[in-house]
Amino acid sequence: MHLSTRLGLIAAGLAVAVASYAGPVRETPGSIFKPTGKGFGELDNVATEASQGKAGGFASTSDLSYHGGPVMVGATTNVYYIWYGSQWDTASKNVLTNLAQNIGGSPYYNINTTYYNGSGQYVKNSVTYAGSTTNSGTLGSRLSDSQIQSLVSSAITSGALPADSNGVYMVLTDKATTATSGFCTQYCGWHTHATISGKDIKYAFVGNAETQCPSACGATSPSPNGTPGADGAASVLAHELEEAVTDPDLNAWYANSNGMENADKCAWNWGTTSTASNGAKYNQTFGTMKYLIQQNWVIATTQRCVQKWP
């Protein structure tokens, strides 16, 4: 059955985010929870725990454990973008492209290097922006989960993007496009995997909340780069990337008690922030741009939310 949770608010006046939790499922009454990849949007207890450096949701009582599935431990993780829709502006695309180009090697992404697979191999602090393709909106403005998968499949089978089992394919939708399984109401983004061209392909959906649900999935106002849709999507993108790497097939790193993955544990938890010249709050700098990015869950020593590692 699907788990539902109460609504919540982000603390300290940084932003307000209201979303229900499209949570994990318990397959049998006595089994542990398993993730669905749609855990983003869990806000429980953020207001009371953020000041203590703890994660939202069940973070204070439920650590992550390894369940035997694959982890992306290759030399580098390749990120591919599929820009969907006709309402992408250059500035917004630059914000998200810069993120993919510079998040690898950062102290923030280094948090993921505390995760390992069954052979004791650890995730590398290396991400490459490996390419992109564009679809102007051929499937309309309301995408089902199966249509989102078809966008990934078409990009690969057409040769627009390579079939890369060490890649994460991000379907980035413009501000006029929604996902019918729950964008803005159950999640802000999600990740999963599928067999495409004979390979295990990891992919994610990241929506643009600029006009549809800025209070649920958007950035603070003003936003760090003056592109509220892209600035809000940046944190969601980082969230889905780190989960796709540490739990690519939804059977590696998650919490037994609730199925939350690493980024779920810290959703909407910013940690310490600074103020940009335009008044926007930010906590990370990648390349030349500032971002407000949720913290991530570290499993070394005491498990907790952090902004960087070590």
User: Which residue do the tokens 């650590």 mark?
Assistant: 63
Instruction: Tell me the average confidence (pLDDT) per consecutive run of 10 residues in the chain, 310 residues long.
Output: 25 30 47 74 30 31 90 97 98 98 98 98 98 98 98 98 98 98 94 98 97 91 95 97 97 90 95 97 98 97 96
Which of 38, 17, 11 has the alpha carbon at shortest distance from 305?
11
List pLDDT tens digits, range 237-268.
999 999 999 999 999 999 988 889 999 999 99
Q: Which of 80, 53, 36, 106 is nearest to 264 (CA)?
A: 36
Model pLDDT, residue 172:
98
Amino acid at the residue 283: N
Q: Would you state the pLDDT for residue 31? A: 59
pTM above 0.85, yes or no: yes
What pLDDT is recorded for position 77? 98
Instruction: Give pLDDT tens digits for 31-81.
Output: 567 888 887 333 223 322 332 222 233 333 489 999 999 999 999 999 999
Residue 271 vs residues 122, 163, 173, 282: alpha-carbon distances, Å: 25, 37, 28, 10
The amino acid that residue 19 corresponds to is A
pLDDT at 221: 87
